[in-house]
Amino acid sequence: MPDAAVRPVPAPASPTAGALGVLRPLGLDAARITGGLWAARQEANRRASIPAGAEQLDRAGNLRNLEILAGETQGEAIGPVFADSDVHKWLEAAAWELGRGEDERLACLQRRVTDLLARAQADDGYLDSVVQLRENERYRELPWSHELYCAGHLFQAAVAQVRATGSRELLDVATRLADHLVATFGDGRPGLGDREDVDGHPVVETALVELYRETGTRAYLDLARYFVEARGHGHMERYGAEPTYFSDRLPVRETPHPEGHAVRAVYLGAGATDVAVETGDTELLAALERQYAAMERSQQYLTGGLGSRWEGESFGDPYELPADRAYAETCASIGGVQWAWRLLLATGEARYGDQIERMLLNGFLSGLSLAGTEYFYVNPLQLRADAEPEENRSPAHGRRGWFDCACCPPNIMRTLSSLTAYLATRTDAGLQIHQYAPGPISSDGLSVRVETGYPYDGRVVVHVDEVPGRPVEIALRVPAWAEGATLDGAPVAAGGYARTTGLLAAGDTVDLVLPMAPRLTTADARVDAVRGCVAIERGPLVYALEQPDQAAGVVVDDARLDPDETITVERRDDLLGGTTVLRARGRVVRAPDGAARAPYRPLGDAVPTDGGDDERDVELVAIPYHLWANRGPQPMRVWIPLA
């Protein structure tokens, strides 16, 4: 385990000193989460998800592929072409976790898997077990082969391992593979290869930049820039592939909003942002900010979820955001967080902190069960009664222990293991706190302790324990939803940072209060699927009606909400690990099954009920959206028609 006092642990996505950017990340060891919602999730990740993940990778054959290459056993490759990437993501999670605290069993597993990868690697640095075992020609079909995608996840794991544990073993594997890529791909620019091509699935871009940051090898950054610039120049079409799905229809700087496969698009956005800041490309950075803003404006679910189509796991057209058929893959929220984080560092704008919060606490967290061992791949905003579980990703199954395509579970693991990275940043002026969780944060001689019950309680008290020998400030993000917030009793504007003034001294406290009254939210009329509906939010949490919380006879599918009635707040320590529920007034209205011409009727006619139990005033109980389906798959809805 690293000794924090001796060797700092740079966080993921730590730009070099010369990079563009307003904010600098803190080391991963600079903050800790000691209680509340996120501490419980990190604990479940460490105790349950990561150990179970290793077993799942073994059972699914991902590790066996490497064992065959390492000469330990015999057989054929099992699993999807990107099978290695799930091993790499798990390794990344293990590394950040070991950086958070010793765990001999986990360290042992990490060494074992690292050793397998080292032995599986070809003499010239190439490494992709499925291609190697199937004796496929390397890089034969880059739209689908995921060879550089797997390489990217390996680079990220290697960087995590060296930063968190000091072990360079995986970094050696990664640099040998990266050198091989540098010698192979490029447009003949000095130091790069001459194969002009890109992988169908971005991630290698951001990963190469991270590897450059860790090693100082400029060629890795040059190759990342090449891959970003090469997109939108017909590479996928050369293989006969339709380019939109692969974010290859337009050059990155000309793309108005992300399109195609959502995870691909947001990983590319994150990688292109890394390239922009490290190469000082302000024009590219501005294009990415515009792209992100367009996505936020018209392609994002209230939960932060990204990608509305099952078909192609892709973004829909602007405002095409159906609640029930939402795809909103957990990995897309994770990629969205990564992209927003990079834009936050680059611009210092609080709205990216708001975005990270929305995604993490809603569309990301819904991907994981409270126990930490079951996952949603797809995160809709509504599940109807009698929904058909068509296939293994269907939310109608409830969360599942693993998937044939298991990209999401280890992605969740690595995000939770490195979560403290997103809490705070620093500048010469002082410390900025973006996400609120209880625990200590220290940077540049300033040490504070955050005390809060957020996201359920809106009070955030920052205790100052130590100050440097120069004046510094503490800036606290005030989310855009927090109209009426105060800092030390004085009003502060929502949608920015509230800053301390005057000289801070050890023993001071800074007291931020964010208003937590439940809010009703409506959607732009172009989101036709939820027109005439409202959603309930409280603080950063999106709420949902789920069937088990309703009184007998109150069917979630039939619920309508009365917007004029007060919504009450109730703390329930006994429910779902401890949460806060909201109680609203509304009606249930259902046409009898035999009603003439159902489900249609002449405009202006009332719903033809039988006037009995089918239409009555009721109480509606809402829980945080991310907690749904922890009591089995149940009817649920975020958007509620108005009564």
Instruction: Write out the residues near Zn ion by the rule CB under 5 A.
Output: 329, 331, 407-408
- Residue 152 or 438: which CB sits closer to ligand FUB? 152
Q: Is 385 helix (H, G, I), strand (E, B) or coil?
A: coil
510/489 Cα distance (integer angstroms): 10
For residue 49, what is the DSSP state? I
The single residue of 313, 374, 473, 546 carrying the catalytic annotation is 313
> Is 451:408 a contact under the CB 8 Å cutoff?
no
Report d(CA 349, CA 351) in Å as an integer: 5
458: its two tokens: 């809106």
Q: What whole-number distance in Å separates Cα of residue 130 and Cα of residue 84?
A: 8
Q: Is 407 a catalytic residue?
A: yes
Cα–Cα distances (Å) from 116 to 56, 91, 110, 391, in that order, read 17, 12, 10, 33
Separation of alpha carbons 590 and 475, rounded Å: 50
Instruction: Point out which residues pair with 582 in neighbouring strands.
Output: 569, 622
With respect to ligand FUB, which residue has the nearer C-beta, 263 or 514? 263
Residue 595 CB partners (closer than 8 Å, separation 6+):
608
State the binding partner of 543 from Zn ion, ligand FUB, none, CB within 5 to 8 A by kind: none
Q: Which residue is nearest to Zn ion (CB)?
A: 331
Site track 183-202 with ligand FUB (rule: CB under 6 A), x = hit: ------------------x-
| Bridge partners (DSSP) listed for residue 543 | 624
Catalytic residue among 150, 407, 408, 533: 407
Strands 533-538 and 579-589 come out as: unpaired
- Is the separation of the CB atoms in 333 and 359 below 8 Å? yes
Question: Which single residue brings its beta carbon nearest to ligand FUB?
Answer: 263
Q: Name residues contacting ligand FUB, limited to 244-283 (CB under 6 A).
A: 263
Closest distance to ligand FUB from the beta carbon of 535 (Å): 26
Beta carbons within 10 angstroms of residue 204's beta carbon: 30
Residues 382-411, mask of contacts with ligand FUB (x by CB under 6 A): -----------------------x-x----
| Partner touching 201 among Zn ion, ligand FUB, none, CB below 5 to 8 Å by kind | ligand FUB
To ligand FUB, the closest distance from the beta carbon of 408 in angstroms equals 8
CB of 263 to ligand FUB, least distance (A): 4
> By rule CB under 6 A, what string of x and - marks binding of each residue 67-86 to ligand FUB?
---------------x----
The count of chain residues that interact with ligand FUB, using the rule CB under 6 A, is 8
Q: Does 154 contact ligand FUB by CB under 6 A?
A: no
DSSP string for 521-533 = E---TT-GGGTTE
- Residue 313 near ligand FUB by CB under 6 A: yes
| Tally of CA atoms within 13 A in the half-sphere of 534 that contains its CB | 16
Q: Residue 637 binds which entry of ligand FUB, Zn ion, none, with Cβ cut-offs from 5 to 8 Å by kind?
A: none
Least distance to Zn ion from the beta carbon of 514, Å?
A: 32
Minimum distance between the CB of residue 79 and ligand FUB, rounded to whole angstroms?
12
Smallest distance from Zn ion to CB 402, Å = 12
Q: Does residue 599 have a cis bond before it (omega within 30 degrees)?
A: yes
Chain residues binding ligand FUB by CB under 6 A are 82, 201, 263, 313, 329, 331, 405, 407
Q: Which residues are catalytic?
A: 313, 407
